[in-house]
């Protein structure tokens, strides 16, 4: 079938909106009509050449839609089901999947790196030549063929443009606070970076019962938005040294410091913000080849630094729960959407993200 998609060819060039060929789903795969796909900062890393990606490739990994057809052997969904797409397809049989950590799936990770489906091949092509799939999703397209493991069935009254945000930014941020850090009630938290994912770390910490949540960013409008999501204090790092400011506000350091930008200098700042016995959690995607240096003796203070992959997601457990929280009025999604664009204006959406103008933009196919 023919689909319209935004194609990445090389860094520092605009995406090309083109017509591509999409194969029917094979065994264990699902064809989804995409309703909406969020514009995530991780995609911007590919566009700016900070992280390598096979090309040509259809980007987009934060999506939701409706199942149109299923391949042989698919039993979890049927045509008409509403689904969120998970960008970390889990094989269900590797050691990580078997111990309940599907976000670290060995085979899913290989497929993501290769830009393919789980079997190492692609379903997209142009003039007979393969076109790769970002994260086995390729959500910046009217339709997507994905592994059955990538679909999470949700209730049909959940708005699909809101559901799409759960596919990456919300799951990653809320999950980092609740699943990875296991933020405790009454604790102090700092969050460096108040974009789409950072705002969800903030609301995840608020849902967990943190007493003080300190938001750190360079832009005042993002700090104002952070307060809407649960921040109790804000620090503009363009006007004051952030580590000093956070230590002052938290009486010497926070229990949990989240880095949601992906820069070595801010990762070090998060570690320095954590108190003795505290934890720094790295959520941001860093440029390839970057390194962080920490003083070895600091670990005698029993400080911990860890990463958070997809918020420790168990997609078919956690995502429906997030849907229920939204439908109950306990999870903010409407407030995340700054702008909605058609696919033809996708490069405008990325420029707005690059300039820090938005929390989240959504490419809508509705």
Active site residues: 40, 42, 45, 61, 168
DSSP annotation of 141 reads B
Residues 6-33 as b/e (b if ≥16 CB within 10 A, e otherwise) read: bbbeeeeeebebbebebeebeebbbbbb
**CA dist list (Å): 345 to 33, 101, 296:** 19, 37, 48
Asked if residue 36 lies in contact with residue 115, where contact means CB atoms within 8 angstroms, the answer is no
Q: Rounded CA gap, 39 and 194, in Å?
A: 15
- Residue 277: which region, alpha, beta or left (left: phi > 0; alpha: psi -120 to 50)? left
Phi, psi of 181, deg, nearest 5: -80, -30
- Residue 320: which region, alpha, beta or left (left: phi > 0; alpha: psi -120 to 50)? alpha
Cβ atoms < 10 Å from Cβ of 227: 15
């Amino acid at each position: 079938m023919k689909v319209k998609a935004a194609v990445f060819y090389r860094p520092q060039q605009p995406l090309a909106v083109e017509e591509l060929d999409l194969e029917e789903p094979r065994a264990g795969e699902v064809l989804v009509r995409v309703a909406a796909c969020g514009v995530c900062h991780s995609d911007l890393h590919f566009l700016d050449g900070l992280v390598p990606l096979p090309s040509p490739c259809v980007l987009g990994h934060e999506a939701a839609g409706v199942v149109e057809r299923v391949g042989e052997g698919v039993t979890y969904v049927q045509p008409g089901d509403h689904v969120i797409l998970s960008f970390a397809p889990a094989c269900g049989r590797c050691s990580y999947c078997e111990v309940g950590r599907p976000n670290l799936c060995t085979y899913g990770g290989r497929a993501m790196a290769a830009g393919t489906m789980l079997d190492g091949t692609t379903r997209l092509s142009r003039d007979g030549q393969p076109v790769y799939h970002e994260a086995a999703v390729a959500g910046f397209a009217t339709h997507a063929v994905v592994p059955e493991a990538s679909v999470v069935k949700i209730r049909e009254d959940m708005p699909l443009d809101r559901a799409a945000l759960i596919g990456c930014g919300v799951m990653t941020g809320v999950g980092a606070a609740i699943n990875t850090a296991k933020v405790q009630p009454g604790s102090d938290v700092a969050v460096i970076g108040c974009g789409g994912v950072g705002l969800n770390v903030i609301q995840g910490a608020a849902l967990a019962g943190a007493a003080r949540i300190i938001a750190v960013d360079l832009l005042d409008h993002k700090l104002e938005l952070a307060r809407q999501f649960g921040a109790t204090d804000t620090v503009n790092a363009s006007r004051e040294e952030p580590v000093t400011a956070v230590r002052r506000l938290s009486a010497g350091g926070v229990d949990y410091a989240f880095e949601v930008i992906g820069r070595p200098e801010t990762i070090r700042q998060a570690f320095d913000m954590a108190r003795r016995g505290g934890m720094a959690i790295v959520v941001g995607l860093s440029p390839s080849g970057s390194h962080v240096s920490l003083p070895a003796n600091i670990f005698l203070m029993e400080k911990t630094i860890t990463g958070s992959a997809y918020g420790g997601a168990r997609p078919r457990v956690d995502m429906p729960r997030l849907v229920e929280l939204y439908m109950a009025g306990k999870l903010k999604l409407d407030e995340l959407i700054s702008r909605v664009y058609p696919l033809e204006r996708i490069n405008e959406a990325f420029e707005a993200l690059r300039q820090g103008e938005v929390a989240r933009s959504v490419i809508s196919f509705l």
